[in-house]
Amino acid sequence: MKKLLIFIAFCLLSELAGAQILKPVKWSYAAKRINSKEAVVLIKATIENGWHIYSQNIAANGPTRTVFSFNPSKDFTLVGKTLEPKAVTHFDKMFDMNIGYFEKEVVFQQKINIKSKGKITIKGKLEYGTCDDHQCLPPEEIVFNVSV
C-alpha cells in the first residue's frame, strides 16, 4: 500500500512539474519624440500564432478588452486617447456581438505633451484578455514604464 501511495504521489508531482504556464503575449515599450514638446508612447504586443488579444473598443458585456491607464505626472499630459490600428472583426455568437481583436502583432500609440525639460518617464498599466480557438486565459494586468 505504501509503495502505491508513493507511486501516485510521484505521478502527480511529475504531472505538475510538466505543466506549462501559458504566456502567449509579450509586451514591449518605446517612445518617439516628435519635437521638444511632443512624443508618442508605443506599446507593442507580440502574439503567438493561434492567439489573439481584444481591441480597446469592445462593449462592456463582451470579452476582456485591452485597457491602458497612465499615472498622472507633472512632466506630461496625455493628448487624446490611446490609438490602435484597425482590428480584425467577427461576430461572436457567445457574446452576440461583433468583436474586434488583433493577431500576431499590434502597436498601440499614445501621444503626450511634454511639460518639463530633460528625460521623463511615463508610467502606467495595461489590462488585456487573450484567447485562442479553444480557451481564454484569465485577464492579465501589466505595469510598464517608458523613458522619453
E strands, the chain, are: 25-33, 38-47, 52-54, 67-70, 76-83, 88-92, 97-103, 105-114, 121-128, 130-131, 140-147
Give the domain extent around 75: 23-147
- CATH number for the domain that contains residue 114: 2.60.40.1250
Q: Is the residue at 110 inside a domain? A: yes
Residue at grid coordinates 481583436? 101
The number of distinct structural domains making up the chain is: 1
Q: Is the residue at 6 inside a domain? A: no
- 46 and 28 in contact (C-beta within 8 Å)? yes
Instruction: State what percent of residues in the chain have pLDDT above 90.
Output: 75
Q: Is the residue at 16 inside a domain? A: no
Q: Is the residue at 17 inside a domain? A: no
Instruction: Share the mean pLDDT of the chain.
Output: 88
Q: Is the residue at 77 inside a domain? A: yes
Q: What is the pTM of this model?
A: 0.83
Residue 25: CA count within 13 A, CB half-sphere: 28
